[in-house]
Amino acid sequence: MRFTIKCPHCGARGIARSIEKVSPTSWLLDFQCDDVTCGHTYRTQLDMYPPETPIPRRTRRETAALQFGE
């Protein structure tokens, strides 16, 4: 899978070239414009929210024993 974001300089497709993990829920992504005449590079930040509240695990349901012909 390839991360792409529109280039803020010319509007062409920008492709993620490197990803740097800053924290367990935050990354810095470096993009480069796919248009060779532009070649603009730019950095974005990707954060997951809410970073401090994980999704609670559901308790496992007990399975009922199936009784055939009793």
pLDDT tens track for 31-54: 999 999 998 999 999 998 876 666
**Structural domain total, the chain:** 1
Domain assignment present for residue 68? The answer is no
The whole-angstrom separation of Cα 19 and Cα 21 is: 7
pLDDT score recorded for residue 59? 81
The whole-angstrom separation of Cα 44 and Cα 16 is: 10
pLDDT score recorded for residue 63? 73
Domain assignment present for residue 63? The answer is no
Domain assignment present for residue 9? The answer is yes
pLDDT score recorded for residue 48? 85
Give CA torsion, residues 46, 48, 50, 55, to 10 deg: 180
Domain assignment present for residue 30? The answer is yes
**Reduced to 3 states, what is the DSSP secondary structure of residue 62?**
coil
pLDDT score recorded for residue 1? 67
Domain assignment present for residue 8? The answer is yes
At residue 63's C-alpha, the angle toward residues 57 and 64, to 5°, is: 150
Domain with 20, as residue range(s), is 4-47
